[in-house]
Amino acid sequence: MHPRAFALPFLLTATLAGCAGPAGPPSGSAGSLPPGSTPWLVSGAPSPARPSSAATTGGLAAPLTEGTVTGTFLPFPQSARAITYDPKVVPPGATAQVSIARTAHGTTVRLTAAGLVPRRTYGAHLHTRPCTATPADAGPHYQHSPDPMAAASPPSIDPAYANPRNEVWLDFTADTRGAATVTASQDWAFDEIEPPRSLIVHAEHTRTAGGKAGTAGPRVACLTLATR
Ligand SMILES: [Cu+2]
């Protein structure tokens, strides 16, 4: 499906509905929350008082397997949750919202971004570790079926594992206002113990050829996925 196929009303209402429930696709839950669901929103406001909690502990905050995280990208240490590593590519003040919803068929992840460079193409994936001041600390891509070769010689660049069905790819091209919305749907659920911990925005679109699969140029911004 084309990323832009989602209409704005769907985006707003689906953001509030944290769980799609077993009855149907994400859009089916719009406006009515399933019993027992607890939708919430995490503010991405700068938190200079605790600039390195995720960096030093691997994430005191609870991991996110369902729900929504919003962040405003700022240089570290102005923000430890949503960091821009390259202000020319991800201008300070740009925002990103990641919503994770379980569906009857698996998992849907939606990225909504604003304040980026108009008409620019970005790569984006979910990664295994929280953001720190060092881009590489966010680790490799989250993989549903881990690439056995990547343990010895990371990263995983085998298209059999580094592909948008086994990983969560959210590449997008910003519109004329610097905004974008993209959705990825998987037929599996995130690991409850070790779910993805961050969204990494890259400077280039994601490659798919063998030997380069999954690579997308420098890491230009990072949003930690956590409940607080
Ligand atoms: Cu990535």
pLDDT band at 227 (very low <50, low <70, confident <90, very high): confident
Q: What is the pLDDT of residues 176-200, one digit of tens each?
A: 999 999 999 999 999 999 999 999 9
In degrees and rounded to multiples of 5, residue 14 shows phi and psi of -65, -30
CA 24–ligand 1 middle distance (angstroms): 30
132 Cα: distance to centroid of ligand 1 (angstroms): 15
Give 188's Cβ-side CA count (13 Å radius): 13
- Mean residue pLDDT of the chain comes to 80
Instruction: Please state the domain extents for the chain.
Output: 3-16+39-224
Least-confidence region, from 18-27, 126-135, 144-153, 167-176:
18-27
Report the separation in Å between the CA atom of 129 and the middle of ligand 1, taken as the mean of its atom positions: 11
Polymer length of the chain: 228
CA–CA gap between residue 43 and residue 69 (Å, rounded): 7
CATH class, 3-16+39-224 region: mainly beta
| Ligand 1 center–CA 128 separation, angstroms | 10
Distance from Cα 26 to the centre of ligand 1, integer Å: 25
Would the pLDDT of 5 be above 80? no
Q: Kindly give the distance from the C-alpha atom of residue 127 to the centroid of ligand 1, in angstroms, as a whole number.
A: 6
Cα 140 to ligand 1 centroid, rounded to whole Å: 7
The pLDDT tens digits for 41-76 are 343 433 333 333 333 344 456 778 899 999 999 999
Strand, coil or helix: what is 70? strand
Q: What is the pTM of this model?
A: 0.75
pLDDT at 216 over 80: yes
State in Å: Cα 66 to ligand 1 middle.
20
Residues 6 or more apart whose Cβ sits within 8 Å of residue 142:
125, 126, 127, 128, 167, 168, 190, 195, 196
Q: How far is the CA of 216 from the centre of ligand 1 (A)?
A: 7
Measure 201 CA to ligand 1 centroid, in angstroms: 7
CA torsion through residues 215, 218, 223, 226, sign: positive
Going from the Cα of 225 to the center of ligand 1, the distance in angstroms, rounded, reads 14
Helices (H), the chain: 8-16, 53-57
Residues 6+ apart with CB under 8 A from 159: 208, 209, 210, 213
Q: Is the pLDDT of residue 175 over 60?
A: yes
What does the pLDDT read at residue 7?
A: 38
Kindly give the distance from the C-alpha atom of residue 215 to the centroid of ligand 1, in angstroms, as a whole number: 7
Q: How far is the CA of 18 from the centre of ligand 1 (A)?
A: 25
| CA gap 24, 69 in Å, rounded | 23
214's CB contacts (< 8 A; 6+ apart) are: 125, 141, 155, 156, 157, 162, 163, 167, 206, 207
pLDDT tops 90 at residue 219: yes
> Among 22-31, 69-78, 126-135, whose mean pLDDT is lowest?
22-31
Using the mean position of ligand 1's atoms as its centre, give its distance from the Cα of residue 133 in Å. Answer: 16
User: How far is ligand 1, taken at its centre, from the CA of residue 206, in Å?
Assistant: 8
